């Protein structure tokens, strides 16, 4: 997973990922947009799969978003998939100056608009999207992007709650799972909702990929793992302070954790937040293991469930320990070689 970096760094990271036998990179959109960094990465490491995880949808016209996806798909030889997310109200309305409500139906219309634009680019049908939030009906020939042979651009959605996950199952090609997740959440909440949504569209749940970011914390001793453990506790505490994610703790018997995290966040007590994330919570929400057990733990947890797993913390670890690249490569090779349950 790659955050805000300059083009030179994006290219360097891509070459490292290719060297480490990783299948690809997922670019987030936080302090900057992902598009130029992705182009730099694609040029530097032509074998990698690239995805946005996720691009903020609502401030960008679906036509512009589809055009960016089309261009990246063509220039990477089909090795790009578009991950979309709604972000939260405060950012969409106050940082981007865009409309937010209602986020679920708005995202559904957005995904369909992007897919209609992509189909029009491919010449599959005339552009005629008339939704409740976006209308796209004009695409003169001189404004149509150049054709290429990689027209099957996958469009994925970030989804957590039941409405959005059902919608993703209905209209999206994949679901970007939130980094704050447990196996119980995947099996008892997310997958049933995706299946329900897929059924309404006459699709198989197998048509919807799960793209799963994971807090992978390797190290052969507690001391070796200490820095990444602390980083993971901090990130889990930050995510967990959001009231919409409270059920992630409640479902596992840790009722009230989200409210307590929020109290400490509002008080500016970051160490207090981190301390609330127990070892048991780490085991539920992260993969903490010696190096030679990491791949087996990932396969045991996600094989047959996730289409891809993305390591959330690899770049953090490599920044402190560049010599760990070979060990990450061993993990990547072992995970990619593992058989997929039928």
Extents of the domains making up the chain: 7-216+294-337
Contact 35, 68 (CB under 8 A): yes
- pLDDT confidence of residue 341: 78
Chain center to CA of 223: 30
Quote the CA–CA distance of 100 and 97 in Å, as a whole number. Answer: 9
Q: What is residue 254's predicted lDDT score, i.e. its pLDDT?
A: 98
- Count of C-beta atoms within a 10 Å radius of residue 72: 24
User: Mean per-residue pLDDT for 241-260?
Assistant: 96
**Closest to 273 in 3D by CA, of 232, 246, 228, 238:** 238
The DSSP symbol for 141 reads G
Task: Say what the pLDDT of residue 101 is.
Answer: 97
Q: How far is CA 75 from CA 17, 42, 192, in A?
A: 19, 8, 36
Count CB atoms within 10 A of the CB of residue 146. 8
Mean pLDDT of all residues in 175-199: 98
Encoded tokens for 129: 């999207």
pLDDT recorded at residue 60: 98
Structure tokens at 106: 């708005």
Asked if residue 289 has pLDDT above 90, the reply is yes
Per-residue pLDDT at 292: 97
Cα→Cα distances 181→269, 311, 337, Å: 24, 14, 24
In terms of phi and psi (left: phi > 0; alpha: psi -120 to 50; beta: otherwise), the region of 277 is beta
Tell me the pairing of strands 24-27 and 49-52. Answer: parallel
If residue 286 lies in a helix (H) or strand (E), which one and from where to where? strand 286-289
Q: What is the pLDDT of residue 25?
A: 98
| Arithmetic mean of pLDDT, 59-81 | 98
Question: In 17-71, where do the E strands start and end?
Answer: 24-27, 49-52, 55-56
What is the second-level CATH architecture of the domain 7-216+294-337?
Answer: Alpha-Beta Barrel (3.20)
pLDDT of 92-121, one tens digit each? 999 999 999 999 999 999 999 999 999 999
Residue pair 11/44 in contact (Cβ under 8 Å)? The answer is yes
Phi, psi (5° rounding) for residue 23?
-80, -20
State the pLDDT at residue 340. Answer: 81
Sign of CA dihedral 84, 107, 160, 150: negative
| Continuous segment of H or E residues that includes residue 171 | helix 162-171
Q: Which residues contact 148 (CB under 8 A, 6 or more apart)?
A: 70, 73, 74
Q: pTM score > 0.85 for this model?
A: yes
Q: Alpha-carbon distance 54 to 88, whole Å?
A: 13
CA 303 vs CA 20, 187, 189, 341: distances in Å: 21, 13, 18, 7
Tokens of 90: 């405060």
* 25-67 pLDDT per residue, tens: 999 999 999 999 999 999 999 999 999 999 999 999 999 999 9
**Residue 342: pLDDT above 80?**
no
- 3 state DSSP class of 85: strand
CA 200 to chain centre: 24
DSSP-derived 3-state class of residue 291: helix
């Amino acid at each position: 997973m790659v955050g805000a970096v300059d083009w030179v760094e994006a290219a360097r990271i891509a070459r490292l990922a290719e060297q480490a036998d990783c299948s690809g990179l997922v670019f987030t959109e936080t302090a900057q947009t992902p598009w130029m960094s992705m182009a730099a990465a694609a040029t530097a490491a032509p074998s990698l799969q690239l995805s946005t995880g996720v691009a903020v949808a609502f401030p960008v016209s679906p036509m512009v978003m589809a055009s960016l996806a089309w261009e990246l798909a063509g220039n990477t030889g089909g090795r790009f998939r578009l991950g979309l997310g709604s972000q939260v109200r405060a950012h969409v309305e106050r940082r981007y100056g865009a409309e937010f409500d209602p986020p679920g139906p708005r995202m559904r219309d957005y995904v369909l608009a992007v897919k209609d634009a992509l189909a029009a680019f491919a010449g599959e049908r005339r552009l005629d999207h008339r939704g409740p939030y976006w209308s796209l009906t004009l695409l003169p020939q001189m404004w149509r992007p150049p054709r290429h042979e990689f027209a099957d651009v996958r469009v994925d959605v970030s989804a957590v709650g039941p409405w959005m996950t059902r919608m993703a199952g209905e209209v999206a090609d994949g679901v970007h799972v939130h980094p704050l997740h447990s196996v119980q959440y995947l099996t008892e909440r997310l997958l049933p909702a995706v299946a329900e949504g897929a059924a309404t569209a006459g699709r198989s749940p197998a048509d919807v990929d799960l793209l799963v970011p994971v807090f992978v914390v390797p190290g052969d001793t507690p001391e070796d793992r200490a820095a990444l453990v602390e980083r993971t506790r901090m990130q889990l505490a930050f995510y967990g302070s959001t009231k919409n994610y409270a059920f992630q703790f409640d479902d596992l018997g840790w009722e009230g954790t989200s409210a307590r995290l929020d109290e400490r966040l509002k008080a500016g007590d970051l160490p207090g937040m981190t301390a609330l994330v127990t070892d048991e919570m780490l085991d539920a929400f992260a993969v903490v293991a010696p190096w030679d057990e990491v791949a087996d733990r990932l396969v045991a947890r996600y094989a047959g469930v996730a289409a891809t797993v993305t390591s959330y913390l690899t770049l953090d670890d490599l920044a402190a320990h560049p010599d760990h690249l070979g060990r990450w490569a061993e993990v990547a090779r072992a995970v990619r070689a593992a058989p997929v349950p039928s």
